[in-house]
Amino acid sequence: MLKGAFVENSAKIALITGASKGIGAKIALTLARDGFDIWLNYRSDDKAASEVKTQVEAVGRACSLLKFDVADATQTTKVLQPLIDGGNIPFAVINNAGFRKDNLLVWLTSEEWKSVIDVNLDGFFNVVKAVLPYMLKRRSGRIINIASASAHIGVGGQTNYSAAKAGLVGATRALAAEVAKRNILVNAISPGFIETDILDGLPLQEIIKNIPLGRLGKTEDIAEMASFLCSDKAAYITGQAIQINGGIC
């Protein structure tokens, strides 16, 4: 039984996971600029999340901080369910929370394999499971999954991350087919190398030599695509994985 009684005429809500910093924070600020109220999920960095909240509020939108680990289904439901039962159903869900733990497969531990799959792939499942029944009932919504270039090309040392992100792209296509009739559009964005903390420790000067546009991407390069995919302009786009990577192929 679905309890959510929909609140009409309120601002649309965008739930963005992993939005205390990096790409997720920029998506939160960009969607706030577009008129969305923000549900800002993060895992640990209270200070960074509060700073993003202040910036969202500065453009006149509401921002709720939702601290939970997307890999933990129980925690995810515990935080989201009361909000949804209160009648607030996000129009857009951006599954962005992610991290990498690189190692060559021959040395990769089970923990390194599992933890990366848990956050990058199970995190999508846990969050979407909580919200989708209500989106289906409302017959509208957007789901955007932040995958990676590693879903499409082989990057040594990232079998765990590539498997998770390629799984996310597959799930995007399958879910898009399942929910299209209810006017819910599901797409993935696959970033290349974007300037955020996640690149710490990588040989960036070497990497840049192999990017045709000759530079790293910026968080706004990804956030503006998320903004477009959440807009009416993208009403006929679903089941796609859009690569934004400076020309890497």
Question: Which residues participate in catalysis according to the annotation?
Answer: 161
| CB 177, min distance to ligand NAP, A | 23
| CB 139, min distance to ligand NAP, A | 28
Which stretches of the chain are DSSP H helices? 22-33, 46-58, 73-85, 110-117, 123-138, 159-179, 204-209, 219-229
Q: What 8-state DSSP symbol labels residue 194? A: B
| Separation of alpha carbons 16 and 5, rounded Å | 22
Residues that bind ligand NAP (CB under 6 A): 17-24, 41-45, 69-71, 96-99, 119, 123, 146, 148, 191, 193-194, 196-199
Which pair of tokens denotes residue 169? 């792209």
| CB 20, min distance to ligand NAP, A | 4
Q: Which is nearer to ligand NAP, 21 or 61 (CB)?
A: 21
Q: Which is nearer to ligand NAP, 41 or 238 (CB)?
A: 41
Q: What 3-state DSSP class applies to 76?
A: helix
Q: What 3-state DSSP class applies to 221?
A: helix
| Separation of alpha carbons 109 and 220, rounded Å | 34
| CB 45, min distance to ligand NAP, A | 3
Q: Which is nearer to ligand NAP, 3 or 78 (CB)?
A: 78
Q: Which is nearer to ligand NAP, 132 or 189 (CB)?
A: 189
Amino acid at 212: P
DSSP 135-165: HHHHT-EEEEEE--GGGTS--TT-HHHHHHH
| Separation of alpha carbons 191 and 246, rounded Å | 9
Q: Which is nearer to ligand NAP, 13 or 151 (CB)?
A: 151
Which pair of tokens denotes residue 15? 């739930």
Other C-beta atoms lying within 10 Å of the C-beta of residue 78: 12
| CB 236, min distance to ligand NAP, A | 25
Residue with tokens 């957007």: 142
